[in-house]
Amino acid sequence: MEMTGNTVENLLAGLDPQTLWDYFSELSKIPRGSKNEAAAADWVAEQGRGLGCQVERDAVGNVLIRKPASPGREGRPVTCLQAHVDMVCEKNESTIHDFTKDPIQLVREGDQLRANGTTLGADNGVGVCAALAVLASREIQHGPLEVLVTIDEETGLTGANGIAPGWLKAKYLLNLDSEEEGFLTIGCAGGVDTIITRKLSLEAPRTGMRAYRLKVFGLKGGHSGIDINAGRANAIRLLAQVLLNLQGGFDVQMASIKGGNKRNAIPREASAYLFMDPAEEGPFKAELARHEAHWKTACGAFDPGLAFALEPSQEDRVMSPLDATALLQLLLALPHGVEAMSPDIPGLVQTSTNLGVIDVANGTVEVNLLTRSSIDASKAALTDRIAAICGLAGFESRLSGGYPGWKPEPGASIVKLINEVNQEVFGKPLDIVAIHAGLECGLIGEKYPGMEMVSFGPDMWDVHTPDEHVSLPSVANFWKLLVAALERI
């Protein structure tokens, strides 16, 4: 196993394409969590200027780089390569890492690249660096190019939403944000957040009670669009289930709950901060161990690393019994997971919700859910049901950050072209698919009707989790397809 440090150049030396990985090495040094990606976007713009390209920025911070056509190809249609510069910031609890200032520590394991206890940022750093490598190349014969690098895709598609009509000139858009080799994505689901809140009644804990932290950890988590049907457990849901059961046999006062980090990541960890009589600590731990064994059996191979723990904590206020019970019951009543499968496309999730984040701050609890669907009516019906559950439980709710789906156009000329190129390069056709995850193509297509779009990328796994890793040979194949496609367009 090799790690970054003074050996980062050796770590990525000899990889194909080398220019892409050189860019990725540099990008990984720049903190770029969603809404903190300004420095990374500036870096992208600097690379474009350094290559002699025309660089433009818009009001929200997106970067647009234009490169002239290769000689003799000036009359070809304009093609836009599109990727997002921000990344999901997830780390293991034991990992010491500050995403606001620390570089990603790269780890190479054979033919795979991952990070040391954090998300890697291959989503969508590989796409960004592939586009820059195209700009840097003097060998690829291509028509007029645009490279659009957006900001804040992961927490609300802010960049894509802020793009002005008329800014892009492209006829074709190649989105480089897909995560499975051999597939060509031509459609995706739309989504919307539900933000749930309630002002809490806080009071001092009873005399003689001691503060503890009950945590659920060791889960796989995953991308709430790609992995929502993978059977993985939700740490927030499990925590609420166990707490409600344990409260029946123990005198527990709840101070707060915290779980999940991103509304588009299935929660891997969650903690409840509570007070109880220290004399009950032993029996409580014994009962907790019984629950752990029960849920490890229930989760099975989907989440073999599931674990519970009780440890000392420091708190000074607790929720009223009414608030605590209402919150735990709400967390069990709210939907999480697959709501409906597509009746038209086998294996495609049509509608789902991810119970993604819960936090208590300044006397208010906030819960964040992300609902996705390829059918607008189904999305609206599910968010209406969530609002009704909240109302019955005494919580307020509002919708936020809605974005449209991307309607598949299997007959588009770019779909045929990319598929033919893959057949020529690799001797087999691509699988043409629509996905449940969100892509920026829906928002861009809404502003540029008639623009033909596809999305493709290399094999990467466990994105939005600290287990995120990417296949190095697959990146090489992704690059071959991208180059061949640009030379054909």
Residues acting as catalytic residues? 86, 153
- From residue 401, alpha-carbon distances to 154, 252, 361, 366, 370 in Å are 11, 37, 22, 16, 9
Strand partners, 307: 217
Contact 70, 140 (CB under 8 A): yes
414-426 as b/e: b if 16+ CB within 10 A: bbebbbebbeeee
Residue type, 216: V
Q: CB-based burial of residue 16 (10 Å sphere; 0-12 exposed, 13-18 middle, 19+ buried)?
A: middle
- Among residues 327, 284, 279, the alpha carbon closest in space to that of 309 is found at 284
> How far does Cα 127 stand from its chain's mean position?
15
Residue type, 107: V
Contacts of 284 (CB under 8 A, 6+ apart): 246, 250, 276, 310
Strand partners, 364: 199, 361
Contacts of 379 (CB under 8 A, 6+ apart): 190, 191, 192, 351, 371, 372, 373
Contact 393, 453 (CB under 8 A): no
In this structure, what DSSP letter does residue 250 have?
S
Sign for the CA dihedral angle at 456, 462, 468, 470 comes to: negative
Give the C-alpha separation, 188 to 436, whole Å: 6
- From residue 86, alpha-carbon distances to 46, 112, 175 in Å are 17, 21, 15
Contact 193, 366 (CB under 8 A): no
> How far does Cα 110 stand from its chain's mean position?
25
Bridge pairing between strands 172-175 and 452-455: parallel
Token pair of 186 as six digits = 């031509």
Give the C-alpha separation, 404 to 375, whole Å: 10
